[in-house]
A and B are shown apart, each in its own frame.
Chain A
Amino acid sequence: EDQVTQSPEALRLQEGESSSLNCSYTVSGLRGLFWYRQDPGKGPEFLFTLYSAGEEKEKERLKATLTKKESFLHITAPKPEDSATYLCAVQAIEVQGAQKLVFGQGTRLTINP
């Protein structure tokens, strides 16, 4: 069964204090790994897609990396507006191009000014 585990569950940082969020996964044939950001009361906002081990993507203060077993979301010099829940999801190979994302429980990130 496809499974995604995110750690830590919650992380509190000071503004400017860099850190990393972890997403470990087991999937029978990875089609893609996705990072989303979710603010309270809103739908997830797409951040990155990673397709193969060694791939990296960057966007402002965020950088996502992928290995064969896990992905990291690195946050450099975060600001209070980066506070949100960060979700990781995997897409396994499905027949006929169908899609079914399996999500982790998320990491709730708080950046204190």
Chain B
Amino acid sequence: KAGVTQTPRYLIKTRGQQVTLSCSPISGHRSVSWYQQTPGQGLQFLFEYFSETQRNKGNFPGRFSGRQFSNSRSEMNVSTLELGDSALYLCASRTFGSYEQYFGPGTRLTVT
């Protein structure tokens, strides 16, 4: 069974721009979560989607948003990029009812 896939794997953007990251969950997994990983803060929860609805949200500003499509694929958007948004963005999927999350390889975002 294929794992979680994320595209693109690497991205370089300029401060003030916006970016969209994509995540395809494991087949049959309908829940998708997003996390930000930085050396200083570690892994931090952004939000979780299930059945195209946001189920939970972390403590991030409104510049961070997401959505989920009917095929369970998810996108995450960051507007008005700041230097501090440089991070590894990780997507994880699970079957609803199970708490075991499986992570993708991440998208490395660099903001200059």
Contacts and interface: CB of A to CB of B under 8 A. Distances in A.
B103 A43 contact: yes
Given A87-B43, A106-B42, A99 B99 contact: yes
Contacts of A101: 33, 35, 43, 45, 101
Contact of A99 (B4, B42, B101, B102): B101
A89 B92 CA distance: 14
Given A100-B48, A100-B56, A44 B99 contact: no
A24 interface: no
Of the four ranges (under 10, 10 to 19, 20 to 34, 35 or more), the interface on chain B belongs to: 20 to 34
Interface in A44-100: 44-46, 49, 87, 89, 91, 94, 96-100
Interface centre among A41, A96, A100, A106 (most CB of B within 10 A): A100
B58 A100 contact: yes
Contact of B90 (A43, A49, A94, A102): A43
Contacts of B48: 98-100
B56 A98 contact: yes
Given A96-B55, A98-B55, A98-B56, A49 B103 contact: no
B96 A102 contact: no
A103 B43 contact: yes
B101 A105 contact: no
A97 B96 contact: yes
A42 B102 contact: no
A99 B90 contact: no
Given A34-B100, A43-B106, A46-B103, 17 more contacts: A42-B105, A43-B92, A45-B103, A46-B101, A89-B43, A91-B99, A94-B56, A96-B55, A97-B97, A98-B56, A99-B55, A99-B99, A101-B33, A101-B45, A102-B45, A103-B44, A104-B42
6 contacts: A31-B99, A36-B103, A96-B55, A99-B31, A99-B48, A104-B42
Interface of A: 31-32, 34, 36, 41-46, 49, 87, 89, 91, 94, 96-106
Q: Which 5 A-B pairs have the closest CB atoms?
A: A43-B103, A98-B56, A103-B43, A98-B55, A32-B99
